[in-house]
Amino acid sequence: MKIAVIDDYQDAFRKLDCFARLKDHAVVVFHDTEKDPAKLVARLKDADAVVLTQQRSPFPRAVIEKLPKLKLIAQTGRNTNHIDVAACTEKGIVVAAAGAGLPNPTAELTWGLILAGLRHIPFEVQQLKQGAWQTTVGTGVHGKTLGVYALGRIGSVVAQVGKAFGMKVTCWGREASQAKARAAGYEVAASREAFFQNADIVTLHIPLNKETRGIVTAADLARMKPTALIVNTSRAPLIQEGALLAALKQGRPGFAAVDVFEDEPVVGGNHPLLKMPNVICTPHLGYVVQSTYENYYGTVIDGILGFATGKPVNVLNPEVLGKK
């Protein structure tokens, strides 16, 4: 088969151990993101299969209908909100998606951002390179209140680390999340308002869907302390559009650390948060570690090879198989 891999920013796919399993297939890799649907179609017009990494590129009906040769979309992870699966089914295209990465890499990055923000690590590194010595006074986490919004797989790891650091861990989220927090011995905030008002650090670990888009509002942010830090390693649209930038300019919260953006990739330094001295930004590194890539892409290759040998696996639209 002719296989196209898109949005492979680091040219990582061909360097993975699992890549050798595709030795009998023709693989072409694209490293940049093509946002123009017509140009994306031109890239993929000869592909039998396309590999998608998480939600880096949308795959709408307008693209799907112009790829008559396409037989398979192999997607890392289970989230397919960016793919028009119904259009794929109509066109007889199999969508194979399965598996979830371990929560640890994103939880680790979350703590990297928390500590980098509170101890001014990026700034002090740059200052030292320029000849200065100790120009800021940092903030420790011991005894502070860590607010974890949604105690899922990632939020649970983040909370455990906070507890190990001697922090007061308080949680907010749906009823199931609150029940899990109580069972783990964490405090559940008396109200949503109290959650944002009392936390020294708020970290978001909420899945993005129609119900959660914009779930963190300008009013929520305005309740945070001027000394507080908000961290988002989940998805940018969880925060009401434009609210974070405005809140930071108004000084509540005083600081932010973000790994995610509304429109990715951000290139050319062209994002207003990158220009703010009280914000640390990273380029969506949460899950980007070697072990996660081997896991994600290994599952993708399972789907490709299964399809190629007539034994498809991890198929999200099995009704297509009956048409073949």
β-partners of residue 49 are 3, 72
Distance, C-alpha 112 to centroid of its chain: 15
For residue 300, the number of C-alpha atoms closer than 13 Å in the C-beta half-sphere is 27
Confirm whether 124 is a catalytic residue: no
Q: Are 281 and 274 in contact (CB under 8 A)?
A: yes
The residue among 59, 51, 111, 124 whose CA lies nearest residue 88 is 59
Catalytically annotated residue among 205, 223, 264, 271: 264
Structure tokens at 272: 């207003």
Confirm whether 153 is a catalytic residue: no
In our burial notation (b when 16+ CB lie closer than 10 A, e otherwise), range 71-87 reads bbbbbbbeebeebbbeb
The residue among 157, 148, 54 whose CA lies nearest residue 103 is 157
CA 280 → CA 10, 155, 311, distances in Å? Answer: 22, 20, 46
- The position carrying tokens 């990582």 is 12
Helical H segments across 1-84, by residue range: 37-44, 61-64
Q: Are 271 and 279 in contact (CB under 8 A)?
A: no
Q: Are 181 and 188 in contact (CB under 8 A)?
A: yes
CA 107 → CA 25, 146, 220, 233, 312, distances in Å? Answer: 36, 14, 23, 8, 33
- Given its phi and psi angles, is residue 284 left (phi above 0), alpha (psi -120 to 50 degrees) or beta? left
Catalytically annotated residue among 241, 284, 294, 319: 284
Q: Are 204 and 234 in contact (CB under 8 A)?
A: yes
Confirm whether 264 is a catalytic residue: yes
Structure tokens at 80: 């397919």
Using only C-alpha atoms, what is the Rg of the chain?
22
Catalytically annotated residue among 65, 235, 262, 319: 235
Enumerate the active-site residues.
235, 264, 284
